[in-house]
Structure 1
Amino acid sequence: MLYEPPSVAQLKQWKEKLGFSGAQMANILGLKSARRWREYAEEAKQQGIPPANLFMACALVALSPAQVDHVLKLMREVGATIDLKTPE
């Protein structure tokens, strides 16, 4: 698999396009806090968002609620415990 993460500038543009706060970005990316989002959005660090996190965020933005629920159901069938509305 070839993966090159979006640049910090591209992530910030996406955040603005979505009209999301740092906390909302952290939530869709599966990060623990808005602070963690800020670390990914910091020009000086440029660590790159992992592909699984970006995939999750894009799925949450692009898929309908029913489609997201279907994926979460499959995750639970595999054995995961997941509730997107419950903080860690």
Structure 2
Amino acid sequence: MLFRSPTVAQMKLWKEKLGYSGTQMARILGLKSARRWRDYADENKPQGIPPANLFMASAIVTLPPEEIERVLETMRSVGATIDMNSDSPAHDGEQQP
């Protein structure tokens, strides 16, 4: 798979087009906090959004809620715990991306 992350400027433009706050961007990207979004949006230290996070965010803003729920159910069937409305950290103690 070839993946090149969008630039910081492109991510900021996407945020603006969506009309999202930093907290909302962090939520759709699966980031732990708005502070983590600000890290990704820092032009002085560009780090690039990982493909899985960008895929998740793109799906959330593109697909209808029923389709997102179908994917989440598949994740749960594999053994994941996921609640899109919770800000709780991972239960296994690992840092979130």
Is residue 45 of structure 2 the alignment partner of residue 56 of structure 1? no
1:75-86 aligned within 5 A: 75-86=75-86
More helix by share: 1
Q: What secondary structure, in the 3-state scheme, does the structure 2 residue paired with 1:53 have?
A: helix
**Structure 1 runs (4+) greater than 4 angstroms displaced:** none
How many residues are matched?
Answer: 88
Normalised TM-score (structure 1): 0.98
Matched to 2:44, the amino acid is A
Q: How much has 1:27 moved relative to structure 2?
A: 0.3
Q: How much has 1:8 moved relative to structure 2?
A: 0.3
Question: What RMSD, in angstroms, separates the aligned Cα atoms of the two structures?
Answer: 0.4
The Cα offsets for residues 36-63 of structure 1, whole Å up to 9 and x where unpaired, read as 0000001001100000000000000001
In the other structure, the counterpart of 1:67 is 67
Matched to 2:61, the amino acid is V
Identity score, percent: 66
Q: How much has 1:20 moved relative to structure 2?
A: 0.1
Is residue 20 of structure 2 the alignment partner of residue 20 of structure 1? yes
Matched to 1:54, the amino acid is L
Q: What secondary structure, in the 3-state scheme, does the structure 2 residue paired with 1:37 have?
A: helix
Q: How much has 1:21 moved relative to structure 2?
A: 0.1
